[in-house]
Structure 1
Amino acid sequence: MHMLYNSENFAVMRFSGNTTAGQGFEIVDKTSRREIYLGGLLADHFQAGVEYLISQTDDEARIDDFLAGYTTLAHHPVVLH
């Protein structure tokens, strides 16, 4: 697991895959306390979108807006063990 991004509103971790599924990303929405895991083709699409966005800007608000588009799908509450 590798922390890629951490703001007041979001955290993004990358998981390197040792399986055929490859890498995955976990996006945590700190405001709603929900998370989503992206794997497979969705992870590839997410990575391409992030790389493009970062090449255009480093504005935290724009990055958070991008992440919010993915976390609208998040239904899993964040649970700490």
Structure 2
Amino acid sequence: MHMLYNSDSFIVVQFDVPTAEPQIVPAGPQLNREGFEIVDKFARKEIFIEGALAESFQQGVQALIDEGQPSEDELDAFIERYAVMGQQPVVMH
């Protein structure tokens, strides 16, 4: 788990969790469950994205970085497009 981004509006955490069961893949690496958790601080909701959606998110962030030094407002606007899908309320443990 790695915190990638923390602004006044959002937190983005990257997860790279090995699967619980060993995978039988000839000469292949252990499969992992990778994804991103996005927390909307104002809406107090979160979403975990993985697979193609997580890949799209990662590519979008990389494109912003490749264009230059994105501002917090630019990053927040991009993250918001994914955060609006969040339905899980944030609960303190």
Matched pairs, number: 81
- Normalised TM-score (structure 2): 0.81
| Structure 2 SS opposite 1:74 | coil
Quote the offset at 1:55 in angstroms: 1.6
Tell me the CA shift for residue 76 of structure 1: 0.6
What fraction of aligned residue pairs are identical, expressed as a percent?
47
| Alignment partner of 1:29 is 2:40 | yes
Question: What residue identity is the alignment partner of 1:24?
Answer: G
1:51 counterpart residue number: 62
Mapped partners of 1:46, 1:24: distance in 2? 10
- Please tell me the residue identity of whatever aligns with 1:14: Q
Residues 36, 49 of structure 2: 8 Å contact kept: yes
- Verify the 8 A CA contact 1:9 1:30 in the aligned structure 2: yes
Given the alignment of the two structures, is residue 62 of structure 1 paired with residue 74 of structure 2, yes or no? yes
RMSD of aligned Cα (Å) = 1.2
Q: Following TM superposition, where does structure 1 have runs of at least 4 consecutive aligned residues deviating by more than 3 angstroms?
A: none
| Structure possessing the higher radius of gyration over alpha carbons | 2
Larger CA deviation: 51-60 vs 17-26: 17-26
List gaps (5 residues or longer) in structure 1: none
